[in-house]
Structure 1
Amino acid sequence: MKKIALIPARYAATRFPGKLMQQLNGKSVIFTTYESTVNTGLFDDVAVICDSRIIYDEITSNGGKAIMSQQEHECGTDRIAEALPYFPDASIIVNVQGDEPFTQKEPMQKLLQVFEEEDNKEIGVASLMQILKEESAIQDPNYVKVAVDLKMNALFFSRSVIPYPREKNLTPVYYEHIGIYAFRRKTLIDFTQMPMSPLEIAEKIECLRYLENGIKMKMVITEYMGVEIDTPEDLIKAEAYLKKIRE
């Protein structure tokens, strides 16, 4: 079972344009993500799939592998799907977001294990989540929340607070969706054949396309507490996190 990691990279991010080229300890965010993914040692191949010559040159000039997209794409999953012909033997494809510079081995390993378990033969896509504890993060629409069933299949993703704590005597568990996905090849190809779905468009959360089309999505809990860089403030948090893990 050949496993690859593809990193979709869009230069003109809406909330933080050019964020992938911002510096973290002397390296760009996108190259730090690429390097971290390679260093897990879990993949037969790793590549950045980008829409910008700036990002392409950043990766290749530092000895990495990059592929230029030939089309415009609304989401990262569509972008990596376009690159599949370059990897004809890949059966499991992991989508690592370019703004997740602190990719670690253990959570990725847990994600890949989903496809090795006998009970998960019908699962075509899996993703990571972590417990949110800070009230500010729970209320923040930049943190995508996910509600799951008793078997850890995703029920819904939202930028709103889910579940809503109407019962004041209970403390719900809030999960943040971490934008790292693993797909079986066919599931990824099927995704590209589906039009953008109404809830996906409303929430700007691409994985809602799966749920709206009745496709199960297995969620895996991790204790990974890295920093996803969506805003200039997140970059400051990332610098502090980097300093902390290196002390």
Structure 2
Amino acid sequence: MNLFHITAIIPARYQSSRLPYKILHKLDGKSMLQWVHERASQSEGIDEVVIATDHELIQEEAERFGATAMMTSADHQSGTDRIAEAAEKFPDADVFVNVQGDQPFLESSMIEKLIEPYRLGLEPDMATLACPLDQQEIGNPNTVKVAVNRKNIAMFFTRSPIPYFRNQVEDLPVYQHVGLYAYSAAALQKISRLNASKLELAEGLEQMRALEEGLSIYVSTYDKMVPEINTLEDLEKAQEMGLIDNYTLYNKEE
């Protein structure tokens, strides 16, 4: 087994178009940021968890509960770009994990599954997760599908139904993408220097940039999705599902 130094980075942007300041909203008394950090920190194989942000209030919140936080540019267009900037402060890291701040119900085992190919010495450029696709979601453009080859390397990500079953084929797995990523240090810096690709722009899926460049993305399978928090309705649904007892929206005027 190859040994890697693995750093998890939470890109924490202050503004959010669908749910402003969402990473500072509190679920059962803890900010979403704290929940994500705690879940990531419980994952075996992660050497450190760092928060990369564009705002002093998020840095203050991170330091309040004892996390390591650093300021990054406010001009980044994606979490990957923010992680790439933060990664420069960790020259000894071999692999970087992108832990999105909208996943307070993240399970530590998801990260462990994500980094498994690196711990096994497979050394892909990137790694991500997928789970079995609920047939009710096959036509939903907000549900991203992924096709993989026999070596579990991604061939295509799309918002469209995939594959098209012209012929009935038994036991053909159809996967839903789970938005967690790991990158080799070299691949992360390469991706951050690339312009948005045509398929990326067409699908609105950043991972297509890596595929069009010829980088490999290893896809590990997980048994289920976990809810993300992107809207107020997501918070209400999480409460209805019993995932949280209550939530408090952050008010920047307070």
TM-score between both structures, scaled by the size of structure 1 = 0.88
Given residue 232 of structure 1, which amino acid in structure 2 is its aligned partner? Answer: L
Provide, for residues 159-183 of structure 1, a one-character-per-residue CA deviation record: whole Å limited to 9, x for no partner: 2222234446768643221111111
C-alpha distance in 2, partners of 1:169/1:92? 37
Matches within 5 A, 1:81-92: 81-92=84-95
Matches within 5 A, 1:56-205: 56-118=59-121, 120-121=122-123, 123-135=124-136, 137-167=137-167, 173-205=173-205
Given residue 161 of structure 2, which amino acid in structure 1 is its aligned partner? Answer: V
Alpha-carbon contact 2:73-2:82 (below 8 Å) kept: no
2:35 matched residue in structure 1 = 32
CA shift at 1:61, angstroms? 1.6
C-alpha distance in 2, partners of 1:41/1:10? 26
Provide, for residues 24-75 of structure 1, a one-character-per-residue CA deviation record: whole Å limited to 9, x for no partner: 2222222211111112243221111112223222211222121111251111
1:42 matched residue in structure 2 = 45
Unaligned ranges ≥5, structure 2: 246-254
C-alpha distance in 2, partners of 1:3/1:169? 39
C-alpha spacing 1:96/1:204, structure 2 compared with 1 (3 Å): same
Percent identical pairs in the alignment equals 38
CA shift at 1:16, angstroms? 2.7
Q: Name the SS for the 2:132 alignment partner.
A: strand
C-alpha spacing 1:196/1:241, structure 2 compared with 1 (3 Å): farther
Q: What is the RMSD of the two structures over their aligned residues, measured on CA atoms? A: 2.2
1:216 matched residue in structure 2 = 216
C-alpha spacing 1:152/1:67, structure 2 compared with 1 (3 Å): same
C-alpha distance in 1, partners of 2:160/2:24? 29
Provide, for residues 178-223 of structure 1, a one-character-per-residue CA deviation record: whole Å limited to 9, x for no partner: 1111111111111112111111122221111111111111100011
C-alpha distance in 2, partners of 1:144/1:209? 15
Across the two proteins, how many residue pairs are aligned to each other? 241
C-alpha spacing 1:53/1:161, structure 2 compared with 1 (3 Å): farther
CA shift at 1:241, angstroms? 5.1
C-alpha distance in 1, partners of 2:42/2:225? 18
TM-score between both structures, scaled by the size of structure 2 = 0.86
Alpha-carbon contact 1:42-1:105 (below 8 Å) kept: no
Q: Name the SS for the 1:242 alignment partner.
A: coil
Unaligned ranges ≥5, structure 1: none
More helix by share: 1
Alpha-carbon contact 2:40-2:111 (below 8 Å) kept: no
Provide, for residues 102-140 of structure 1, a one-character-per-residue CA deviation record: whole Å limited to 9, x for no partner: 22232222222201334x24x1111111112150x3332
Alpha-carbon contact 1:102-1:227 (below 8 Å) kept: yes
